[in-house]
């Protein structure tokens, strides 16, 4: 079924805001879903990757996780879960805790989504206790990148998020910020940046005092099998873009070719970043990114270094080569 969001208001000359809650598929705020018994992930604090291998932590009982604090003083943690299910349970609690924190501190919670399997990993937020306890009215949802296709197109990150997540939570109308897909890639990028600047001006999005770029509360990132994040691909000139907030790409090595994307200065100005990676197919890239690789050419995922805190959420398969 094609998505036909309703035009609500204009922040810039053409940015349109599409509320997912107009869908008849939306779960009412007081809806009751079948109860799920969550098992809290157990974390071994301060365990290095070397020590983890010695302890054999990846072989512990299901739903247990290991946390590795990276050396060098940077705010980076690596959590490894026995299964993707356990990863999803922990990611839900992590997101819900940050939602509560920023909703109380700022009166808003700015969340940036990516495409791929990330949306599936958020599924536990649609179950008790989170579906009924999170202040969804405080959420403002953005995309770290988007394909320049219609919103009902199979390649649309908006459609992916809408079908799998946004249509099932009671967000306020106007708090979901999709690109204007009627524009060219360049026009859509400029338009989205104008939208972000307006939201910074009215204090919906925080501004980094250190960088001068928007400071989102939480960026939820996936990673491609080539180590790309957002639409920032290995070896591409956009990796060096340090002035624009949002830019565009017309020659994406992964189809569709035309996309918009946040730049690294925006990604790295974030308060919190969750890098969610599951599956054995990405184990080699995880090893390169987190191991002792001597390769002088950094993968895009290795350039993720937020102003705040970075947490890797890995299942055992993705971490199998560490």
| pLDDT tens-digit series, residues 310-321 | 999 999 999 999
Confidence of residue 295 (pLDDT cuts 50, 70, 90): low
Query: Residue 31: pLDDT above 60?
Result: no
* pLDDT reported for residue 293: 65
| pLDDT tens-digit series, residues 119-152 | 999 999 999 999 999 999 999 999 999 999 999 9
Could you tell me the CA-to-CA distances from 224 to 18, 94, 100, 165, 183 in Å, in that order?
Answer: 27, 22, 30, 21, 26
- CATH class of the structural domain 56-315: alpha beta
- What three-state secondary structure class fits 175? coil
Q: How far apart are CA 297 and CA 303, in angstroms?
A: 11
In the chain, what are the domain boundaries? Answer: 56-315
Query: Residue 54: pLDDT above 70?
Result: no
Bridge-based pairing of strands 145-147 and 259-262 is: antiparallel
Query: Residue 33: pLDDT above 90?
Result: no
């Amino acid at each position: 079924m094609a998505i036909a969001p309703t035009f609500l208001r204009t922040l810039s000359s053409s940015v349109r805001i599409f509320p997912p809650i107009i869908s008849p598929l939306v779960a009412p705020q007081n809806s009751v879903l079948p109860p799920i018994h969550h098992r809290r992930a157990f974390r071994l604090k301060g365990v290095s990757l070397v020590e983890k291998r010695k302890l054999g932590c990846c072989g512990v009982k299901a739903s247990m996780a290991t946390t590795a604090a990276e050396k060098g003083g940077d705010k980076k943690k690596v959590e490894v879960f026995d299964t993707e299910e356990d990863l999803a349970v922990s990611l839900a609690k992590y997101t819900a805790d940050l939602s509560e924190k920023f909703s109380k501190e700022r009166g808003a919670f700015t969340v940036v989504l990516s495409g791929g399997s990330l949306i599936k990993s958020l599924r536990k937020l649609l179950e008790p206790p989170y579906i009924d306890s999170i202040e969804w009215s405080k959420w403002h949802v953005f995309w770290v990148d988007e394909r320049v296709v219609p919103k009902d197109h199979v390649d649309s990150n908006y459609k992916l998020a809408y079908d799998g997540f946004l249509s099932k939570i009671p967000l306020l109308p106007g708090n979901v910020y999709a690109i204007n897909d009627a524009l060219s890639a360049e026009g859509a990028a400029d338009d989205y940046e104008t939208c972000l600047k307006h939201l910074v001006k009215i204090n919906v999005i925080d501004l980094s005092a250190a960088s001068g770029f928007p400071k989102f509360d939480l960026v939820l990132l996936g990673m491609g099998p080539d180590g790309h994040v957002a639409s920032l691909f290995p070896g591409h000139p956009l990796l060096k873009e340090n002035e624009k907030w949002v830019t565009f790409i017309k020659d994406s090595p992964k189809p569709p070719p035309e996309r918009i994307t946040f730049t690294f200065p925006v990604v790295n100005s974030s308060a919190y970043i969750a890098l969610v990676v599951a599956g054995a197919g990405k184990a080699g890239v995880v090893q390169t990114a987190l191991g002792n690789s001597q390769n002088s050419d950094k993968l895009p995922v290795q350039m993720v270094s937020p102003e705040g805190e970075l947490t890797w959420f890995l299942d055992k398969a993705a971490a199998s080569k560490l």
